[in-house]
Amino acid sequence: MAGMVPLLIGITIISFAIIHLSPGGPVELATSMDQRVTAQARQKLMHIYGLDKPLHIQYADWLLRLVRFDFGNSFLDGRKVLDKIVERLPITLLINILSLFLILIIAIPIGITSAIKANSFYDKFMTVFVFMGFAMPSFWLALLLMSFFGIQLHILPILGIKSLFFDELSLAGKILDVARHLILPVFVSCFVSLAAMSRYIKTNMMDVLHKDYIRTARAKGLSETKVIYKHALKNALLPVVTILGLSIPGLIGGSIITETVFSIPGMGRLAFEAVMARDYPVIMAELIISALLTLIGNLIADIAYSWADPRVRIGKRNV
């Protein structure tokens, strides 16, 4: 736990450094788009933002504000960064949680059955499918699906999360509308990670199936079902707990491409817009929040694993 402190410091330093990397500093870039801004005005802006103070002072000020969750105001529209983020959060969470859920319920059975039937036709087929998943660029998949379902077949909407006439719908209608809009984005979000996850589960399961205690279980005369579902499964799925923890950061920041292609107003899209517009306060905020979430996610993953694995939970040699 104490090891997290240097990590936090490191994260903040690097984030800070990134912003000040660009030649001329943040103000320069924010205002270079706008020709009307004179050199004098630039100086003034720099003073207002405190950018003419020495670097370590800027860092300290910035850090203090961070601790109070004050991420400053967006260069783009002047609103508080925190507000913009909070606004976009729910959509991203919704898509990613749905996606994670689907991934788990699809990948786990696929991984396990592939391991049990290793080298069969089924397994070979699944392997090919997995490799396709790894190689598929998500934006291309998105475009293909949009083209096919959205335009050719015209059965699914392709942009945004609600239709124009949303407000006139009943509650049920509203839910259905959002659901329809989410089908493609969630699918795309899933597809690529599905490959990785089922691969991981398969590898784990195969490792476990080759362990000595599985041989012992068979030698005891247990049925194959018991051997697999009681003995092998529990061991193979232990790491899945870790994965859940590690997916936490992805819940917020993992969907830049998907959201941009489908024009979904979420955190990922916000990140993209901020980058395009060189909106530094927002970029910073997103970086820091993601990094923090990764730290927390890792911590939760560790804790969850220690709780699940009796070897860690109970500790060694109470003999």
Partner 1 sequence: MLLEINNLQVNYFSARGKTPAVCGASLAIKKGEVLGLVGESACGKSTLALSIANLISPHEGKIAEGEIIFNNRNLIGLPEKELRALRGREISYIFQDPSSALNPVYTIGEQITEVLLGHENISKESAKEKAIQALKSAQLADAERVFSCYPHQLSGGMKQRSMIAMATILKPKLLIADEPTTALDVTVQAKIIELLIKLKNELGLSILFITHDLNLVSTIASRIAVMEKGKIIRYETKGLSKPAAAEKRKTETQSKENVLEAKNLKKYFAVETGFFRREKGIVKAVDGVDISLKYGQTLGIVGETGSGKTTLAKLLAGLYTPTEGKIYYEGNKKIIRKDFQMVFQHPFDSLNPRMKIEDILKEGLLIHKIAEPSNIKQRLCDLLDMVQMPKDSLDRFPHEFSGGQRQRIAIARAISVEPKVIICDEPVSSLDVSIQGKILQLLLELQERLNLSYVFISHDILIVKAISTTIAVMYQGKIIEQGEASQIFEHPAQEYTKELMSAARY
Partner 2 sequence: MFKNKLTLFGAIIVGALAIIAIFAPFISGHDPAAIDIQQALLAPSSAHLFGTDQLGRDLFSRIVYGARVSLVIGFVAVGISIVIGLAIGSIAGYYGGRVDSVLMRLVDIMLCFPSFFLILALVAILEPNIIIIMVVIGATSWMGPARLIRAEILSLKEREFIQAAKVLGASDFRIITRHLIPNGIGPILVNAVLGIAAAILIESSLSFLGIGVQPPSPSWGNILMEGKSTLGVCWWLLLFPGVAIFITVMGYNLLGEGLRQRYVVRDK
Residues at the interface with partner 2 (CB under 8 A): 6-7, 10-11, 14, 18-19, 21-22, 29, 127-128, 131-132, 134-140, 143-144, 146-147, 150-152, 249, 253-254, 256-257, 260, 271-272, 275-276, 278, 283, 286-287, 290-291, 294-295
Query: Using an 8 Å Cβ cutoff, are 185 and 95 in contact?
Result: yes
Query: Using an 8 Å Cβ cutoff, are 304 and 244 in contact?
Result: yes
Residue 299 touches partner 1, criterion: CB under 8 A: no
Euclidean distance between CA atoms 148 and 155, whole angstroms = 9
Residue 225 touches partner 1, criterion: CB under 8 A: no
Size of the site for partner 1 (CB under 8 A): 30
Euclidean distance between CA atoms 299 and 246, whole angstroms = 9
Q: Which does 276 bind (CB under 5 to 8 A by kind): partner 1, partner 2, none?
A: partner 2
Q: Which does 290 bind (CB under 5 to 8 A by kind): partner 2, partner 1, none?
A: partner 2
> Helices (DSSP H) in 117-170: which residue ranges?
121-135, 138-145
Euclidean distance between CA atoms 80 and 78, whole angstroms = 7
Amino acid at 193: S
- List the beta bridge partners of residue 73: 80
Backbone angles phi, psi at 197, to 5 degrees: -65, -45
Choice between 43 and 223, CB closer to partner 1: 223
Q: Which stretch binds partner 1 (CB under 8 A): 73-81, 86-94, 101-109, 303-311?
A: 303-311
Nearest to 279 by CA among 64, 102, 127, 71: 71
Q: Which does 18 bind (CB under 5 to 8 A by kind): partner 1, partner 2, none?
A: partner 2
Residue 21 touches partner 1, criterion: CB under 8 A: no
**DSSP summary character for residue 166:** G
Q: Which does 185 bind (CB under 5 to 8 A by kind): partner 1, partner 2, none?
A: none
Direct distance between the N- and C-terminal alpha carbons of the chain, in angstroms, rounded to an integer: 29
Q: Which does 234 bind (CB under 5 to 8 A by kind): partner 2, partner 1, none?
A: partner 1
Out of 122, 211, 244, 292, the only residue in the binding site for partner 1 (CB under 8 A) is 211
Query: How many CB atoms neighbour CB 86 within 10 A?
Result: 10
Out of 23, 54, 78, 221, the only residue in the binding site for partner 1 (CB under 8 A) is 221
Euclidean distance between CA atoms 248 and 254, whole angstroms = 10
Per-residue CA distances from 131 to 57, 127, 204 (Å): 50, 6, 17
- C-alpha 237: how far from chain center: 21
Choice between 35 and 318, CB closer to partner 1: 318
What minimum distance in Å lies between the beta carbon of 96 and partner 2?
13
Residue 319 touches partner 1, criterion: CB under 8 A: yes
What minimum distance in Å lies between the beta carbon of 237 and partner 1?
10
Out of 80, 162, 180, 218, the only residue in the binding site for partner 1 (CB under 8 A) is 218
Which residues bind to partner 1, rule: CB under 8 A?
2-3, 6, 118-119, 211-213, 215-223, 226, 231, 234-235, 238, 309-311, 314, 316-319
